[in-house]
Amino acid sequence: MKNQKLVSGIRSTGELHLGNYYGAMKGIEKLVNTYDANFFIADLHTLTTHPSREHMSKNALEAAASYLAAGLNPEHCTFYTQSSLAAEVAELSLYLGMVMPLGELMRCPTFKEKAKKHPDNVNYGLVGYPVLMTADILLHKGEVVPVGEDQLVHLEMARQIARRFNNMYGEVFAYPQPLAENAVRIPALHGQGKMSKSDGVDTYISLQDEQSQIAQKVKKAYSDPTRIYLQQPGHPSVQGCNVYHLHTYFTDEQGQQQLREQCSTASVGCVACKQRLAEEIEQIVEPFRTRKQQLTEEQILDTLQQGAQSARLSAQKVLQEVRNAIGILMV
Ligand code: AQP
């Protein structure tokens, strides 16, 4: 049954949030049981923004703990850090970089956005990000990649790179596809764009947040700007109210329907609606928080070491096939 290869990674840039969870981890127990799955911590990808030495390993451990707390069973998949396969990933990235035109990488919307936001740090790694990401996926001949909506463009580039490589050297790689149920975009609490680590702690719900923090953050969330008084009916739709938009992800259909009726007839106010949202979010975060507290550093390191060994074995086989396809003289 487990005949399709799944690959998924998360950059270890700090505490993970609900967006990361829904985009890359949702349904992880089922994914691990359904696919031949490789999950990794994309710690080398974080180097584009120059994290401090102390944060590098701390954040990698933190991300690994989050995966385990999200329900990843390392006995049923391969779980490792990208840096433990640095040689393999770097080698494949080098080959793939040769088939991808620089102009296309520079036209990538996420590159343009980051370059505009941080003009003083437009490094070679940033423009090559989609190539390195493709190497992460193709190193295991990945076919299925659960990512949030924001990463779909990178996945399209991964398919292009695989296509170019195959056209040049023969059919080595499959064309990695996203999983529709994960390709979502959880909005930020302040209503501007997607939930993202880099927009400040008040714009996202971290998977570590305590109940009181969740309540505080949700209380300040941007809602329906046209509803000023309690007696006014609101606009409970994805476009009309950011808080309702968040409910569509975290509250079940029956609860959403009830909120739509109550809000559009002004029988529920924004304060109560936000309290309800905070309760729903707490139900999602609480088991995660509890499981995470039970993990020890030793357990996590041990798990990652075992995962690295098996990931290296599988990566080496694929690399050998790639070298043969290119015609590299093996001496
Ligand atoms: N808001 C989101 N909704 C759905 N999915 C999301 N993802 C991120 N934000 C959302 C998904 O999480 C996975 C890992 O992302 P990442 O941390 O590797 O990179 P990112 O997309 O850059 O995450 P952030 O929080 O926005 O980080 P910063 O602020 O550091 O750049 C991916 O599958 C992504 O789609």
pLDDT tens sequence across 184-240: 999 999 999 999 988 899 999 999 999 999 999 999 999 999 998 888 999 999 999
* Residue nearest atom 27 in ligand 1 by C-alpha distance: 197
Give residue 57's identity as a one-letter amino acid code.
S
Cα of 26 vs centre of ligand 1, distance in Å, is: 13
Q: Which atom of ligand 1 is nearest to the CA of 12?
A: 17
Do the beta carbons of residue 259 and residue 244 sit within 8 Å? yes
Mean pLDDT, the chain, integer: 96
Cα of 195 vs centre of ligand 1, distance in Å, is: 8
Mean pLDDT score, 60-87: 96
CA dihedral over 147, 214, 203, 45, signed as positive or negative: negative
Q: Assign 311 a pLDDT band (cuts: 50, 70, 90).
A: very high
Mutate to test the pocket of ligand 1, among 151, 205, 242, 249 (most ligand atoms within 8 A of CB): 151
Per-residue pLDDT, 1: 58
Mean pLDDT score, 163-168: 98
Q: From CA 314, how far away is CA 62, in angstroms rounded?
A: 25
Closest to 128 in 3D by CA, of 88, 98, 150, 152: 98
* Residue nearest atom 14 in ligand 1 by C-alpha distance: 10
pLDDT of 242-279, one tens digit each?
Answer: 999 999 999 999 999 999 999 999 999 999 999 999 99
pLDDT > 70 in the chain, percent: 100
Q: Which atom of ligand 1 is nearest to the CA of 45?
A: 18
Q: Assign 153 a pLDDT band (cuts: 50, 70, 90).
A: very high
Q: Is 205 helix (H, G, I), strand (E, B) or coil?
A: coil
Q: Match 């998949």 to its residue by tokens.
A: 77
Per-residue pLDDT, 229: 87
Per-residue pLDDT, 210: 97
Cα of 20 vs centre of ligand 1, distance in Å, is: 5
Q: Which atom of ligand 1 is nearest to the CA of 187?
A: 1
Q: Which atom of ligand 1 is nearest to the CA of 199?
A: 29
DSSP H or E run through 213: helix 211-219
Closest to 194 in 3D by CA, of 133, 253, 147: 147
Per-residue pLDDT, 190: 97
Per-residue pLDDT, 306: 97
Q: From CA 228, how far away is CA 110, in angstroms rounded?
A: 36
Letter string b/e over residues 267-283, b meaning 16 or more CB atoms within 10 A of that residue's CB: ebbbeebbebbbebbbe
Per-residue pLDDT, 162: 98
Mean pLDDT score, 107-115: 94
Q: Assign 52 a pLDDT band (cuts: 50, 70, 90).
A: very high
Render 271-301 in DSSP notation, one character per residue: HHHHHHHHHHHHHHHHHHHHHHHT--HHHHH
Reading phi first (left if > 0) and then psi (alpha if -120 to 50, else beta), residue 175 is in: beta
Closest to 220 in 3D by CA, of 263, 190, 250, 187: 190
Per-residue pLDDT, 14: 85
pLDDT of 1-26, one tens digit each?
Answer: 588 999 999 999 988 999 999 999 98
pTM of the entire predicted model: 0.93
Mean pLDDT score, 299-315: 97
Letter string b/e over residues 67-105, b meaning 16 or more CB atoms within 10 A of that residue's CB: bbbbbbebeebbbbbbbbbeebbebbbebbbebbeeeeb
Helices 242-250, 253-264: axis angle to 10 degrees equals 160
Ligand 1 neighbour 148 (Cβ under 6 A): yes
